[in-house]
Structure 1
């Protein structure tokens, strides 16, 4: 199946202009919403949106959160519940798109937003796919963020990211690292959302994820829905890039299985 239409737009939601891109297919089975990581954006999903659309016969939408990519900058100090705020923005976006029960696929911070959304609005999604999720603060999380900040200071990563985020790079980078390393953020935890999740959930994590241990994955044992897990051998935080074929096939099988069960 070919993607029959590619659409991009900016829409004003709450206090910000939010950029999104949509890959449309004929007679879609559902819509997959992609939620990017702490340094990501729509463009950095690369070929994933189009390939998911073709393989699963679903529309796919990726959007840039506040402060990222082609969306407005977001320089306000982030409160401890800023990811809950992002879940609320996602709810408004779904209303704008007139999508009732999408499939959410979140990566890293995007996975945390997707988890929160699934707990806040358990009847407003069909399936949940999360990779490299953070639901609690661990030493591994903080160590990984300290290393990320060091990379910013000692490499050309800021210059590379300007291609995708323009002059927002330092704002978004330090908003991420300084927020998570702050004293007030050390009590951050979203595990209380997990028992409220009722939909089938696929949890993906790299075997050597530098931002979290298996505690992040095993927290989903308390979900009220079916939970499947994929621990990707020889992969770190970006398992969908490092072991793409395995992750892609697992996701497509998961979606096909549960959409088929619904049709039956």
Structure 2
């Protein structure tokens, strides 16, 4: 199935102009929402949106969270429940898009937002796909964040990211790292949302994920819904990049069972 059109838009939600991109097909069977990671944005999903649309005959929507990509900058100090706030914004976006019962595909921070949303609004989605999810604080997570901050300060990564985030790079980078490393954030935990999830869940985790262990994956054993796990051999945090064919095919098969 061919994508009949792709389009880019901006909508004001709560406090910010939010950028999003849509890939639309004829007679779509459903919609997939892409939720990016802590340094990501719509552009960094690259070809995934268009390929999902073509292979599944689904509409696909990706958006940039506050402070990322082509959305407004967001310099307010992040509270401990900032990801819950992002789930509320997602709910407003779905209402704006008039999308009902979509499938959420979240990566890293986006996976945490998707998990929260699935627990907050269990009847509003049709399936949950999460990659590199965080539901609890681990030392390996904190060490990964420390290394990421060091990379910002000792390499030219800010110049590479400026292509996608413009002059927001240092704001979003420090908002992420300083929030996760702060004393108040060490009590952060969203496991209580998991038993509330009512839809099938596909969890994808790189075997060598530098930001989380199998504790993040196994936390979903308490879900009431069906849980499928894909542990990607020799892959790191970005399993969808490290082993794209395997991850893509697994997602397609999962979606077709819904």
TM over 0.5: yes
Matched, 1:206 2:206: yes
Residue 67 of structure 1: CA displacement?
A: 0.1
Tell me how large the CA RMSD over aligned residues is: 0.4
| Segments ≥4 residues shifted beyond 3 Å | none
What residue number does 1:261 align with? none
Q: In structure 1, what is the Cα distance between the partners aligned to 2:100 and 2:120?
A: 15
Find the counterpart in structure 1 of residue 194 from structure 2: 194
- Cross-structure match for 1:262: none
- For 1:28 and 1:223, locate their aligned partners in 2 and report how far apart those are by CA, in whole Å: 29
Find the counterpart in structure 2 of residue 23 from structure 1. 23
Aligned to 2:254: 254
Q: CA deviation at 1:7?
A: 1.1
Q: Post-superposition shift, 1:9?
A: 0.3
Q: CA deviation at 1:47?
A: 0.6
Q: Which residue of 1 aligns with 2:239?
A: 239
Does residue 32 (structure 1) correspond to residue 48 (structure 2)? The answer is no
Offset at 1:257? 1.4
Q: Which residue of 1 aligns with 2:125?
A: 125
How far the C-alpha of 1:139 sits from its partner, in A, is 0.5
Deviation of 1:100 (Å):
1.3
Secondary structure of the structure 1 residue equivalent to 2:133: coil
C-alpha distance in structure 2 between counterparts of 1:55 and 1:66, whole Å: 30
| Offset from partner CA, 1:231-258 (integer Å, 9 cap, x none) | 0001000000000000000000000112
Query: Which residue in the other structure is 1:155 paired with?
Result: 155
CA positional deviation for 1:18: 0.1
1:139-179: CA deviation from partner (whole Å, max 9, x where unpaired): 01000000000100111000000000000000000000000
**Structure 1 match to 2:90:** 90
Q: Distance in 2 between matches of 1:225 and 1:29?
A: 22
Determine the structure 2 residue equivalent to 1:173.
173
Distance in 2 separating the partners of 1:101 and 1:15: 25
SS at match of 1:253: helix
Tell me the SS of whatever aligns to 1:4: strand
Cα deviation for residue 51 of structure 1 reads 0.5
Output the TM-score relative to the length of structure 1. 0.97
Q: Name the structure 2 match of 1:51.
A: 51
SS in 2 for 1:73: coil
Cα offset for 1:222?
0.7
Q: 1:8 aligns to what?
A: 8
Distance (Å, rounded) in 1 between the aligned partners of 2:169 and 2:41: 12
2:78 & 2:257 partners in 1: Cα distance?
39
Q: Which runs of 5+ in 2 are unaligned?
A: none
Q: How many residues align?
A: 258
Name the CA distance, whole Å, in 1 between partners of 2:168 and 2:205: 29
Residue aligning to 2:60:
60
How big is the shift at 1:82? 0.1
> How far is the alpha carbon of 1:224 from its aligned partner?
1.2
